[in-house]
Amino acid sequence: MLDFINRYLQEIRETINEMPAEKINEVVDIIFEAYKQNKCLFIFGNGGSAATASHVACDMAKGTAMPDRRRFKVLCLSDNVPLITAWANDTDYRNTFGEQLRNFVEPGDVALGLSFSGMSPNVINAFKTANEMGATSILFSGRSGGEARKVAGVHILVPSDHMQQIEDIHAMLCHIIFVSFKERMAQVSC
């Protein structure tokens, strides 16, 4: 068992070393610009990625609430189970995130989707909706990035095929973005 643990940790270290800091900073820039323009951040994903999306939405909405600062409008599209199942049941599961976006998304907003494979039709369709409505679409994926990579405006690929390690690094990316965003927010008056 110790061999497995050491191997897992070593693989994570190696993958982290391949992560593009400049691209992560670009995502922070995009999200912070949306905040400065009083726009919204929509976050979504399936399964474990839905849990990460919910976590980062909590961090970004509550964790950035500061005295004398405008609050950031953040919504996790994975959290409304009745609405997700209504869209899935009444139309198609592929519509669960995109149709939610149609109610709210505006030009300048940001849609951040998390997908292990980049092959989730509901994530792909959400990016299509975001793009059509003038929002910026951002994908965090693993493997090859799948079809979602072709639709997302910005893409950060975790270069791995290991689902749990990809999800570990997605959570790390979200924490980096949250902390970087919060530091920038503290330095400006909005």
DSSP secondary structure string for all residues of 56-119: HHHHHHHTT--TTSPPPEEEETTS-HHHHHHHHHHT-GGGTTHHHHHHH--TT-EEEEEESSS-
- CATH architecture of the domain with residue range 39-187: 3-Layer(aba) Sandwich (3.40)
- pLDDT at 189 (0 to 100): 73
- pLDDT at 188 (0 to 100): 81
Is it the case that residue 32 has pLDDT exceeding 90? yes
Contact 140, 115 (CB under 8 A): yes
Q: Which residues is 110 bridged to in the sheet?
A: 41, 136
- pLDDT at 78 (0 to 100): 97
Mean predicted confidence (pLDDT) in 73-88: 96
What tens digit of pLDDT does each residue of 134-167 get? 999 999 999 999 999 999 999 999 999 999 999 9
Mean predicted confidence (pLDDT) in 91-105: 96
Is it the case that residue 95 has pLDDT exceeding 80? yes
Mean predicted confidence (pLDDT) in 171-186: 96
- pLDDT at 190 (0 to 100): 64
Residue ranges per structural domain of the chain: 39-187
> Quick one: which H or E segment has residue 139?
strand 136-141
Q: Quick one: what percent of the chain has pLDDT higher than 90?
A: 95
Of residues 59 and 186, more confidently modeled: 59
* DSSP 8-state assignment for residue 71: P
Contact 118, 144 (CB under 8 A): yes
Three-class secondary structure of residue 113 per DSSP: strand
Q: How far apart are CA 103 and CA 111, in angstroms?
A: 13
Mean predicted confidence (pLDDT) in 37-52: 97
Mean pLDDT rounded to a whole number for the chain: 96
Closest CA to 112 of 127, 134, 131: 127
Band of residue 120 on the pLDDT scale cut at 50, 70, 90: very high
